[in-house]
Structure 1
Amino acid sequence: MIDLIVEIEISGLNCVVGKIIGNDYNDARFSYTVDYLQMEGSRPISLSLPLQTEAFSVHATRKFFEGLLPEGFIRKCVAKEVHADTNDYLNILAVLGNECLGAIRIVDNEAAIPVTSYKLLQDAEIKALAQEGATESVQLITKSHLSLTGASGKVGLYYEPESKKWFFPEGNAPSTHIVKQSHIRLKKIVANEQLCMLTAKNLGIEIPESFIVNVGSDNKEDILFATRRYDRKFDEDSAVLNGLRVPYRLHQEDFAQALGIAASDKYEKSGAAYLKRSMNILRSFSSDPITDQLKLWDICIFDYLAGNTDNHIKNLSLLYSKNLKSIRLAPAYDIVSTMVYDSSTEDMAMSIGGIYNINDIDRKAFEREALNVGLGKNMALKHFDKMVAGFCDAIDKASFTLMSQGFEYVDVIKQEILQKGGIRSYL
C-alpha cells in the first residue's frame, strides 16, 4: 500500500499539500488536501498539477514525482541499495524524498523520523567521494534520504565557506551545494563544465556559483564539481543548527515537470517543439516574461556555440519565490560541451529551426526558430550576433581563470570546443 505525504516549504514553514495513495506505483495518484486547497494563498506545486479537488491521473502523478528522482545507472544503484524495483519510483522516493530539488519533501508515514543535524565530513570522506564513483555517492544519497535528478553521481552537501569545511545534512537539514563526481567515461568533464559555466557567465548568462574541489591527489581526475544551490537561500532570520545557518528551500520544477512530460522523454522527438512550449510557459507564468524568454534564448544560443547537445528540458527550470507567488526562469546549469567527446551525439536535445544535427544549424536556423517561438526576429538575431562576437574572448577569459588555478589542461578543452562546437562556423 502506498501512502505518502507531500510537503512543501513556504516562507520557511513545512506545509502538507497532499498525499500520494494507491495499492502500488502502478495505480498511485496524487491529490491535494482539502485544508491546503482552502488555505489562503495556496499555490500549485507544479504548473502541470493545478489546484483541484479531484485526484490526478496515474500518469500525471508519475510524470511529476518521478521527475524528482535520479536517472539511469544511479537510479539502478539506488534501487538495489534500498531493495526496490527500479520501476517502483514511489518506493525509491519514499526513501530519498526527504531532500529533493526545490522545496518538496516526500514523507513516509511508516518511516522513522531522522534526527536533523549537520555532520562534519572528514577529508578522507570527500576524497572517497571523488575516487570511488557511483558506489560512494549512492551510499551518501541513501544515508541522507536525498533525491537529486540527473544521470551522474551527485550528492547534496552543506559548505561553510569561511572554514572551507563540508558537512553532511541529516534529517530535515537542507544542503547548500550539489557536488558532482567526475565521469569515468567522459574525461575532464569537471573542468569542461566549469569552463563552459564561466564562459556563459562572461557572456552575461546567469549561472549559480560553482567551483572545482581538488581532493589533494596527484591524479587530476580526483576532483569534484560543486555548484551552489540556487534553490537554497539565506535570509537575515535564518535559523542556526550545529553552529551553521540554515537556508530556506525555494521551490523549483524543471520544464519537463512543468509541461507534464516524462523524464524518459526529455529529449525532443520530431515535431514536439519543446523550445516553443517552454517559451509559452514563460510567457504565461513568469513574473517577467520578456526578460526570461530572452534569457532562455541566450542559453539556447550558448548551448549551440559551446557544442552542448545534452540541452534537454530537465536542464532548464522554473524557480519560485519563497512564498510561491512568483515564478522566474532559473539560472543556467549542467552546461557541458558534449561535442568534445567522440561518443556523444551530434543531435541537439531540442531542434533549432527544425534542425537537430548541430553541424547543420546556422544563423538562418535561429532566425526561423525565433519566429517559431514568437520572439522578434531583429531582437533575437541581435542576441545571437552578440553571443557569437563575444564567445572567443569569454572562453579565453574562463580558460585563463582555470589555468591560473592549476588546471592547465583546460586549454586543450577550449581548443576542442572552438573546433567542434557551433562557434567553429563563425571563426
Structure 2
Amino acid sequence: MLEVLRFFQGAYERAGSFTRENGKVSFRYDNEYLKNTHAHALSISLPLRAEPYEPFEFQGFFEGLVPEGKTRTELARRMGVSPSDWLSLLESLNCECIGALVFKRETVSLAEYESSLIPFPIKRFDTLADAPSLSAAEAAEASRLSLSGAQAKLGLFHLGDDPQDGWFTPRGLAPSTHIVKVPDENHPYLALNEYICMKAAAACRVTVADCFTLPSKRPLFVTRRFDRPLPERAPNDGPTFPIRLHQEDFCQAAGFPSYGKYEMEPTDNYAASASRTIERFSSNAIADKIGFTRQIIFDYLVGNCDNHLKNYSLQYSEDWNRRSLAPAYDLVSTTVLGYSRLMGISIGDTRDIDAVTRDEWKLFAQDLRMPQALVLDELDAMRESVTGALLEAAGSALFDEAKEIAEAIVRDMQPRLTA
C-alpha cells in the first residue's frame, strides 16, 4: 500500500492511499481524514468521498506529479521499471514533488526520511550540461524529488544571498527552494531565452516566479519555488526550511492525463475550461481571470506556443482554504527556436499563432466570459510595452548573447504587434 500524506499546519497527515488488488489499482481517501473538519480534497478533480477512485479518475492528477520526457525515461531505466509505470516512479520519488504531498509505503516510517542537506559544490553545475537528463535523473533519485515537466531540471536548497555559493541537495523530507533547469546541446542558450521572457513578463504586469541565471558551461536558468515560502518564524539554530504549499496545474484540475495538456480538437476550447476552473475555484476570480488573460497575451506576443494546460496552475493557501492563480512559469519564446507555431491553447477559433486576428481576441474574451473591451485594452497595452521590456530584460542578463536573443524575439513578434 502506498500512503498519500499532505503537509498541513506544520505536520504530515495521512489523506489517503493506493491499493492494488488483482492487478487493479485504486485510490481512496482515508476514513479518519474524511472525518476531520479541516479535510480538503487533494485536487479539484478528486472531491472528498468515501468511495474509491478508479485509475481513469485519479491518474491525471497523480501522474501529473512525475517527470516527463527523457528524464522520466532515464529514471525508469535506473529504477528498473517501465516509463509508463508512473505509480512506481512516484513511490520512489516520494518526498518532494510539486505541491504539498508526500508518498510513502505503509511499512515505512517518516522518521526514516530525516531531513538533511548535502553540499552541492558550484563546480558541479559545469558537469550538468554534459548529460542533462542523466544529471536530472541522478539528482531526483538521490533526493527522492519529483519535478513534473519535460525539460531536465533538479531541485536544490539554497542558503544565503550569493547565487555562487550556498547550494545543497535536499535529502529525506528537506524541501528544495529552487529549481535549476539544464539546457541541452541543441539549445545552449535556452536559459537566457526563458530569463528574458520571465523578466519582460514581469515588466508587462504579469505575475511571475522569481528567477535568475547562473554562469556555467551553458547558462543555467534558476527559479525560486513559489510553493516553498519561508515560514514567518525562523528556528533558533540550523537552516530555515520552507513550508510546503499545495498547488495543481490546470491539466490536473481538469483530471486530464499529461498527454492531454495541448488542445487537439477544435471543440476542446481550453480557454473556456480554464475560465470555468477559475470561476468555480479561485478565491478572487476577477483578478485571476485578468492575470490569466495577461499570461495568454504575453505568450502570444513573444511566441510561446508551449503554453499548454500544465503551464498554468492554481496555488493553495497555507490553510488550504483559498486558491489563486499561481505566478507564471516556463515562459519561453518557442517560435524563435523554430518550433511549431500552433499554440497549446487556442485564441478564439485558432491555435495558429500567425492566424490570430482582433476578431479572434473578441472570441477569446467570450470564452473567458470577460468584457471584450477589457481584453483588447490589455492586448493593446502589452503591445506598447513588450518590446522595451524584452530589450531591458536582456540588458540585465549579464550575458553577451542575451541581446541577440531578445532582438530575435522582437523581430519574430513584429507581425503580432499589429495583427
When normalised by structure 2's length, the TM-score is 0.95
The equivalences for 1:76-225 within 5 A come to: 76-110=73-107, 113-163=112-162, 164-215=165-216, 219=217, 221=218, 223-225=219-221
Contact 1:104-1:251 within 8 A present in 2 as well: yes
Among 236, 240, 247, the residue aligned to 1:245: 240
Moved more, 177-186 or 64-73: 177-186
Instruction: Work out whether residues 359 and 422 of structure 1, in 8 Å CA contact, stay in contact via their aligned partners in 2.
Output: no
Does the 8 Å contact 1:29/1:56 carry over to 2? yes
Of the candidates 226, 235, 249, which is equivalent to residue 254 of structure 1? 249
Residues 326 and 130 of structure 1, relative CA distance in 2, 3 Å threshold: same
Q: Does 1:282 align with 2:278?
A: yes
Of 319-328 and 117-126, more deviation after overlay is shown by 117-126
Please tell me whether residue 379 in structure 1 is matched to residue 378 in structure 2.
Answer: no
Superposed structure 1 runs of 4+ greater than 6 Å apart:
none
Q: Is the 8 A contact 2:214 2:222 kept in 1?
A: yes
**Equivalent of 1:296 in 262, 287, 292:** 292
Partner Cα distance (2:236, 2:134) in 1? 32
In 1, Cα distance between equivalents of 2:189 and 2:138? 24
1:58 is aligned to 2:55: yes
**Aligned twin of 1:317:** 313
SS at match of 1:383: helix
Task: State the SS of the aligned residue for 1:302.
Answer: helix
Q: CA deviation at 1:226?
A: 0.8
Paired amino acid for 1:152: Q
Structure 1 CA distance for aligned equivalents of residues 122 and 167 of structure 2: 9
Contact 1:251–1:319, Cα closer than 8 Å, also in 2 = yes
Report the CA distance between 1:214 and its aligned residue: 1.1
Q: Quick check: 364-373 or 296-305, which moved more?
A: 364-373
Residue identity opposite 2:337 in structure 1: Y
- Classify the secondary structure of the residue corresponding to 1:351: strand
Q: Does 1:329 align with 2:325?
A: yes
Could you tell me which residue of structure 1 aligns to residue 32 of structure 2? 35
Q: Supply the RMSD in Å over aligned alpha carbons.
A: 1.6
In structure 2, relative to structure 1, the CA distance for the partners of 1:58 and 1:239 (3 Å cut) is farther
In 1, are the aligned partners of 2:354 and 2:416 still within 8 Å (CA)? no
Q: Distance in 2 between matches of 1:310 and 1:6?
A: 31
TM superposition shift of 1:373: 2.0
Distance in 2 between residues matched to 1:107 and 1:239, nearest whole Å: 27
Cα deviation 1:222-252 (Å, max 9, x = unaligned) = x2211000001112224477x2101100000
Instruction: Please state whether the residue corresponding to 1:122 is helix, strand or coil.
Output: coil
Alignment of 1:345 with 2:344, yes or no, is no
| Structure 2: runs of 5 or more not aligned | none
What residue number does 2:14 align with?
Answer: 16
| Structure 1 residue 110, shift from structure 2 partner | 4.5
**TM-superposed deviation, 1:136:** 1.6
1:68 is aligned to 65
Q: Note if contact 1:192-1:410 (Cα within 8 Å) is conserved in structure 2.
A: yes
TM-score by length of 1: 0.93
Q: Deviations over 1:33-54 (max 9, x none)?
A: 1111111121101000001000
Unaligned runs of 5+ in 1: none
* Count of residues in Structure 1 that have an aligned counterpart in Structure 2: 414
**Matched letter for residue 404 of structure 2:** V
